[in-house]
Amino acid sequence: MNSRQPGIQVRRERRNTDALDTLAAGSGVCRDFANVGAALCRALHIPARMVVGFLHQLDHMDMHEWFEAWIGGRWYTFDATQSERRGGRIVIAYGRDAADVAFRRRGFLSNYGPLEVSDMKVAVHCLARDD
């Protein structure tokens, strides 16, 4: 996968990592980088939240994570795995950390019960505006 910054590698799934693990490894997935960004913001007393959802034109459509920071009276989106600013985000959940927005935990969709999915296809399309 592409390196966005020297020494930082975006790569596939890795489980049970925290912000320090990601910084030490210098690599991670979207969840890892969102966790680092939120942790660094909070260390500076900037409110931050994790977001999970879908992103338009994401190569290999899957759930995606990014973080938002409360700056100057509004939430701003930050996504370290994308090389340029992008819209088309479909938010599924907000949370304090990755555990709050995790959907696949021990076979459960959430704390409310199990979910078995045999096949699922997700697509995000931009629609023309009616001006």
pLDDT digits (tens, 9 = 90+) for 106-119: 444 555 566 666 77
Q: What is the pLDDT of residue 31?
A: 84
pLDDT digits (tens, 9 = 90+) for 69-108: 999 999 999 988 877 777 778 888 898 887 777 765 444 4
Distances 51 to 6, 57, 75, 77, 112 between C-alpha atoms, Å: 26, 18, 11, 9, 20
CA distance 8 to 1: 11
